[in-house]
Structure 1
Amino acid sequence: MKLSPAQLDRAAGTLVATAVGDALGAGYEFGPALPASAPVAMKGGGPFGFGPAEWTDDTSMAVTIATSILDALDAGQSAAGERSLSGMVTGWQAWAAESKDVGAQTGSVLRRAAHLMAAGKAADQAAFAAARAHHESAGRSAGNGSLMRTAPVALAFLSSVAGLWEAAGRISALTHYEADSTEACQLWTAAIRHAVLEGELDVRVGLPLLDDGRAEVWRSRIDVAEASHPCDFKNNGWVVEAFQGAWSAIFRALASAGAVGPEALRLSLENAVRGGNDTDTVAAIAGGLIGAAAGYPTIPADWLGRLHGWGATGERALVKLSLDLVAGRRRPHHGPRVPATDYNY
C-alpha cells in the first residue's frame, strides 16, 4: 500500500507517541488525579523506579508485537499467523524475565503458557489456553494489558480492515480472554488505522463491525467518555475505563486545541496522566491514537531526546519499526534521525 508523505508521518507518530505517553506517565503511576494546572514532566521514578524518559511494559510489549510481525513477514509468513503470534509469546516471556514491571494478569498467563510449552504445546496455542484458564480461575480477565500494546497492529494492516479486526482480536486473546478486551483492541486499532490514513480522529469508526448489541454497548461507553474527564475513570486498570479515560483525554484536548496538531497531542497526553491511577497505560493508549492522527513532527522535541526502553534503541528505532510495518518488511536504516517523509516507502 503506497502512502503519501503525510500518511507516513502519521504512521511514524504512532509508536513514538505511544512510547512518549508511556514514559510521561511512568513517574505518576498509581498516583492520584492531578488538577489541570499541575505540570506534567517526563521525570521517571514512580513505584517501579523507571528512569526519566524510559518507557514501561506498555511500549515493550508493543515493540515485541512489531518485531514478531516483521520476523514472520520476512520469513514469508502471515502477520497474524502461528509464527508471528508464537514470537510474541516467547518475546514477552523473555521481556518479563528481566522487566521491572509485568502486569499481574499478563504475568500469570505467561507463566501458565510456559508450563504448557514445556509439555510440548506451541507457544501461541499455549497462550490462548493459558489466557482462558486464567479467566476461568479468576472469574474475569478484562484488564487493560492488551489494549496498551495494540498500536502496531494497525500499521501492519492499513490495507485491510478485516485483517486488522481479526489480528487485533487474536493478539489480545493471547493474554486477555474476555470480550471487552478483544473489542476494545479492535475498536482502538481500527481508529488508529483510520487516523493514519485520513488524519481524522473517529473512535466510532469500527462500531459497524460489531454486532448491534455490542455496538450499542460501546457507543454508550464512548458517549460517557466524552461527557466525562479522565479522572472520572478511577478503575482504569479495567480495559473499558482505560479506553474511556484515553478517549476522554483526547476528546477534551481537541476541544481545547481546536484541531489535531502539536497542541492537541501535548494536551492529550498530559490529560491522560493527570487522570491518575494507571497513568502510563492510559497515556500510552492515548498516544497511539493521537500520534496516528497528529503525526511524528508534532511530538515535542523535549519529549523525544532521551526516550528509551526495553526492546528498541530509542525514538529512531521506533520510527523505523513503524515504517517497516507499513512496508510489510524490514528495510535498510536510512542513517541518522530524519523525518518520516525521507524514508522511501
Structure 2
Amino acid sequence: MDTAMQDRALGAVLASACGDALGAPYEFGPALAADHPVEMRGGGPFGWEPGEWTDDTSMAIPVLEAVANGARWDEPRTHGRLLAAWSDWAQDAPDVGAQTRAVLGRMTANTEAAAKAAAKAVHEQNGQSAGNGSLMRTTPLALGFLGDGARKPLAVAARRVSDLTHHEDDAGDACVLWTIAIRHAIRRGKLDVRRGVPMLPRERRTLWLDRIAAAESSTPEQHTADNGWVVASLQAAVAAITLGDGVVDTLERAVRGGGDTDTVAAITGGLAGALAGASALPEQWTVLVHGWPGKRLDWVRTLAVRAIERTPGPLGIPARRS
C-alpha cells in the first residue's frame, strides 16, 4: 500500500470536515481582510460548538458510510438508503439547505425515482436548482473509485447522487469535475481541475473551461455575493487552492471569502486535503472537530480507512482481471 496515497485519500475527507467546522461561525458574513485571523471558534447563525461540523459534513457521512460498506452506485437501492439516511438526519438537523429540505419534504418515498421527481418539481417551482448542496457532500464518493479505469464510473455516480436533490445541470457538472479532480489528486498528488471536463456533455465543456480559467485568476471574495450557487462555490474553492500555500492557508482563504463560508471551505477541503494529505492538518483542528451523529473526527477517519480498503486498485483489494 502506498502510504502517501492513503494519506491523501484520508486528507480529502478529513480536510473537508475541518473546512466545514472552520467556516461555520463565519457563515453569511462579509469577506474578511487578508490579515484577519480565522479561528475554529464556534458560534455563527446556528450557534455551532467550537469545531462542530454543519450540514455539509453531516450529508457527506452517509455517502462515506456507503462507500465503506461496499455499496454499488449503479443500484437504485444504494440511493434509496442514502435518501433514508438524509431524511432521518433532516428531522432534527439545525440547518438543512433550502433546496435539499424542499426536495426531502416533497418525496413520496425514499427512492431514487421519487427523489428525482421531487427535485424536478422543486426546480420547476423555483426556476432554478443549482445550489451548492450536492457539491458540498460529494467528496467521499471519490474514495470508492480510486482504481484504474474508474474515472468514467465515478463521473456517472457523482451525477447520479447529485441528481437526487439538484435537478439543474450545473450541480451535476460540478460534482463530476470535483470528484474527478479529487481522485486525480489522491492518485497522482497533482492538481488538475480540468481533468473531468471530457466527462461532461460536449456542449457544456467550453462553458466550464471558461469558468475554471476565470476562477484561477480570481480571489474567493470575488464570489461572495453568489457563492450559494454551485458554480460560484466551485470557483471560490479553485481560487483559494490556486492562491493558497498549504491546506491551512487555503482553507483560511476560503473562509475569508465570506458568504457561504462553511460550504465553500468544505468543498475546498476536499481537493486541498487530497493534495496535502491528512498529515498536513493541524492537531488543534483534528482534536476539536466533531458533529452529527455525535462523533469525532477519528470516527470519520476510521470510516475513510474502511472505504479506502474496499476500493479496487492501488490502495485496497486487487482489481479483478477482465
**TM-score in terms of structure 1 length:** 0.87
Aligned counterpart, 1:278: 260
Matches within 5 A, 1:167-316: 167-233=157-223, 234-253=225-244, 257=245, 264-311=246-293, 313-316=295-298
Aligned counterpart, 1:336: none
Aligned to 2:136, what secondary structure does the other structure show? helix
Aligned to 2:26, what secondary structure does the other structure show? coil
* 1:161-206, Cα deviation, whole Å (9 max, x unpaired): 1110000000000000000000000000000000100111111111
8 Å CA contact 2:67, 2:143 repeated in 1: no
Write the distance in 1 (CA, Å) between the matches of 2:17 and 2:201: 33
Q: Give, in angstroms, the shift of residue 246 of structure 1.
A: 0.7
Runs of 5+ consecutive residues of structure 2 not aligned to the other structure: none
* 1:270-313, Cα deviation, whole Å (9 max, x unpaired): 00000000000000000010101110100011111111000362
1:138 to 126, 130, 150: 126
Number of paired residues?
Answer: 312
Which stretch of the first structure deviates more once superposed, 60-69 or 173-182?
60-69
Aligned counterpart, 1:334: none
Aligned counterpart, 2:23: 25
Q: Give, in angstroms, the shift of residue 210 of structure 1.
A: 2.1
2:103 to 80, 102, 109: 109
Runs of 5+ consecutive residues of structure 1 not aligned to the other structure: 258-263, 330-340
2:57 to 56, 59, 64: 59
Write the distance in 1 (CA, Å) between the matches of 2:317 and 2:125: 50
Write the distance in 2 (CA, Å) between the matches of 1:189 and 1:153: 7
Aligned counterpart, 1:96: 90
Aligned to 1:32, what secondary structure does the other structure show? coil
Aligned counterpart, 2:4: 6
Letter in 2 for 1:237: G
8 Å CA contact 1:96, 1:107 repeated in 2: yes
Which stretch of the first structure deviates more once superposed, 296-305 or 20-29?
296-305
Question: 1:154–1:107: structure 2 CA closer, same or farther, 3 Å change rule?
Answer: same
* 1:126-174, Cα deviation, whole Å (9 max, x unpaired): 1111111111111110000000000011001112111100000000000
RMSD of equivalent CA atoms:
1.7
